[in-house]
Amino acid sequence: MLDEQGHLSCAVCDFDFEAKYGAHGAGYIECHHVVPLHVAGEGETKLSDLALICANCHRMVHRANPWLTIDQLRALITK
């Protein structure tokens, strides 16, 4: 999430678009629904329902069914 310095980084791999791309990447990151909308049903989305992740990690979460959790994907890349 948005850390104390005002940077956005991936909740899985810590990738920071601004650190890599400079001003062009400032404020950019993808948003992932931790509980899929088709499971959560209608209602208001809370911040706790979301995870900020980079595009690569987002694709890897959704690569197979059932989807990986943020923790499961993090475990894969820290082996």
Distances (CA, A) of 76 to 10, 24, 62, 66: 15, 29, 14, 16
Closest CA to 75 of 59, 60, 65: 60
Angle, alpha carbons 44-14-65 (nearest 5°): 55
Q: Where residue 2 falls among pLDDT bands split at 50, 70, 90?
A: low
Domain hosting 32: range is 17-77
Task: Give how many domains the chain has, as a whole number.
Answer: 1
Residue at 21 is within a domain = yes
- Give the mean pLDDT of 17-25: 95
Among 51, 52, 49, 62, which residue's Cα sits nearest to residue 16? 52
- Distance between CA 43 and CA 19 in Å, rounded? 35
- Does a structural domain hold residue 9? no
Residue range 44-63, pLDDT digits in tens = 888 889 999 999 999 999 99
